[in-house]
Amino acid sequence: MRVLGSLVLALCSLAALAQEEDKDCPMCLTNQFAKCSGSTCECTLKVAENMAPIVNCSKLTSKCWMMKNEMYRKKNNIGTRRKPTEHAMLDNDGIYDPECNNEGKFHAKQCNGTDTCWCVNTAGVRRTDKGDVNIQCPELVETFWFQVQLRHKPMEKQVDQTKLKEAIKNVFAGYQVDPGYIENVEYSEEDHYIIVDLKQNRTVTSPTDLATATYYLEKDIKGNTLFSIQYNRSIQDDGIPFDGTKLSFEEAYVYYIDSKNPEFSMKGMTPGIIAVIVVVCLAVVAGLVVLFFTRRKAAKSHIYQKAEGRELDEIQKQQLTT
Ligand SMILES: *[C@@H]1O[C@H](CO)[C@@H](O)[C@H](O)[C@H]1NC(C)=O
Ligand SMILES: *[C@@H]1O[C@H](CO)[C@@H](O)[C@H](O)[C@H]1NC(C)=O
Ligand SMILES: *[C@@H]1O[C@H](CO)[C@@H](O)[C@H](O)[C@H]1NC(C)=O
């Protein structure tokens, strides 16, 4: 009996020790949903019932894994999804349960666990019509150009454009985007839009791919950060420090432009279009979106855009005639 007692005691203290060890593991700064444990403090991200890839917390976790984790949390009602902000309306846009390879890259064909499948680009964005399980996606087409359009709230004083460009570079540095990827930062004073062109650049290697970086950015702007609380985010909930004050955003759009034409069966498809543009809309209300479609110029003329999410997904496939 005594032996059993001390055995139990020993086991208990061992368990306590193990617990202690987990507590001692530092948090995964770049991924608040990752769990770190064990003597090596390895961090893993649960993405399915029996799947938890190891994540490297000095980098951002790939978009594919993050989407998969979000779907897992949704299905199981886990999570610390914050109270919807004013931006919450379009928060579910385009989310599906993706298939990722071992490196966390998207498979070209995605089915969301159903019999309806489609092809995606390297950013995981649909670039074909939806079809059945037999749909062929022979290759994963590269999204080589991301255009981020941010609209800031009115400022007291005039925006200094040089400082603005510097601030934008710092924002992207916070997502581990090499400055070599930032091709252009444009500012439109009258409607407060900051337009950032990010392009793949073979001469630099960033730890984070642009799809992942823009996904993290999107989440930060929506007020649903993927970073852990301790991480010194470059976009806080109230915006970014700028010129002695704060620059906060009220709308953001991410356009994805692929190296090959998209394959939507739209009538009036013009030869020579180069891009699929998917607008991930973080805008407040649908009204704004419609305004956007009729008013904003897209990255280039003759580009199709498709709003991802909700009904817009089906109805907004239209050509811009800028
Ligand atoms: C994690 O990523 C960093 C930065 O890219 C790299 O230096 C490091 O070797 C990686 N660690 C592991 C365990 O792969
Ligand atoms: C994927 O499936 C989930 C339900 O499991 C659904 O909520 C979501 O809208 C689907 N996404 C797409 C893009 O079909
Ligand atoms: C690629 O990155 C390098 C190094 O930052 C930069 O000098 C070059 O201009 C970039 N190329 C393009 C096409 O932006």
Provide the pLDDT for residue 79: 61
pTM: 0.78
Provide the pLDDT for residue 93: 45
Strand locations in 78-202, DSSP E? 109-110, 118-119, 143-152, 182-188, 193-199
Contacts 24+ apart (CB under 8 A), 46-52: 46/72, 47/72, 47/100, 48/72
pLDDT at 45 over 90: yes
For ligand 2, the distance from its centroid to the CA atom of residue 47, given in whole angstroms, is: 15
Ligand nearest to the backbone CA of 94 = 2
Q: Which of 112, 119, 306 to mutate to test the pocket of ligand 2 (most atoms within 8 A of CB)?
A: 112
Candidate from 202-216, 245-259, 291-305 with smallest mean pLDDT: 291-305
Provide the pLDDT for residue 67: 95
Q: Region 259-284: what's the mean pLDDT?
A: 50
Provide the pLDDT for residue 86: 35
* Angstrom distances, CA of residue 80 to CA of 163, 173, 226, 286: 35, 26, 10, 26
The model's confidence at residue 166, banded by pLDDT at 50, 70 and 90, is very high
List ligand 3's pocket residues with C-beta within 6 A. Answer: 179-180, 183, 201, 203-204
* Residue pLDDT, tens place only, 214-254: 999 988 888 889 999 999 999 988 889 898 888 988 888 88
DSSP characters for 297-308? Answer: --SSSS-EEEEE
For ligand 1, the distance from its centroid to the CA atom of residue 213, given in whole angstroms, is: 17
Report the range out of 89-93, 157-161, 212-216 with the highest average pLDDT. 212-216
Provide the pLDDT for residue 117: 94
The model's confidence at residue 289, banded by pLDDT at 50, 70 and 90, is very low
Any residues with CB less than 8 A from the CB of 124 and at least 6 apart, and which?
63, 64, 67, 98, 106, 110, 211
CA distance 115 to 134: 9
pLDDT at 314 over 80: no
**E strand or H helix that includes residue 3:** helix 2-24
* Angstrom distances, CA of residue 312 to CA of 160, 164, 233, 289, 315: 36, 32, 31, 9, 5
pLDDT at 301 over 60: no
The residue whose C-alpha atom lies closest to atom 10 belonging to ligand 2 is 96
Provide the pLDDT for residue 255: 82
Provide the pLDDT for residue 63: 96
More confident residue, 164 or 322: 164
| Ligand 1 touching residue 207 (CB < 6 A) | yes
pLDDT at 298 over 50: no
Candidate from 24-38, 99-113, 298-312 with smallest mean pLDDT: 298-312
More confident residue, 62 or 144: 62
pLDDT at 211 over 90: yes
The residue whose C-alpha atom lies closest to atom 7 belonging to ligand 2 is 96
Ligand 2 atom nearest the C-alpha of 116 is 14
Residue type, 252: A
* Residue pLDDT, tens place only, 91-149: 334 689 999 999 999 999 999 999 999 999 999 988 888 899 999 999 999 988 888 88
pLDDT at 202 over 50: yes
Structure tokens at 302: 């003759």
247: left (phi over 0), alpha (psi -120 to 50) or beta: beta
- DSSP annotation of 89 reads G
The model's confidence at residue 77, banded by pLDDT at 50, 70 and 90, is confident
The residue whose C-alpha atom lies closest to atom 12 belonging to ligand 2 is 96
More confident residue, 25 or 303: 25
Ligand 2 atom nearest the C-alpha of 112 is 1
Q: Is 212 helix (H, G, I), strand (E, B) or coil?
A: helix
Candidate from 40-49, 106-115, 258-267, 287-296 with smallest mean pLDDT: 287-296
Judge whether 63 and 99 are in contact, CB under 8 Å. no
Ligand nearest to the backbone CA of 95 = 2
For ligand 2, the distance from its centroid to the CA atom of residue 96, given in whole angstroms, is: 5
pLDDT at 49 over 90: yes
Average pLDDT taken over every residue of the chain: 76
Provide the pLDDT for residue 190: 87
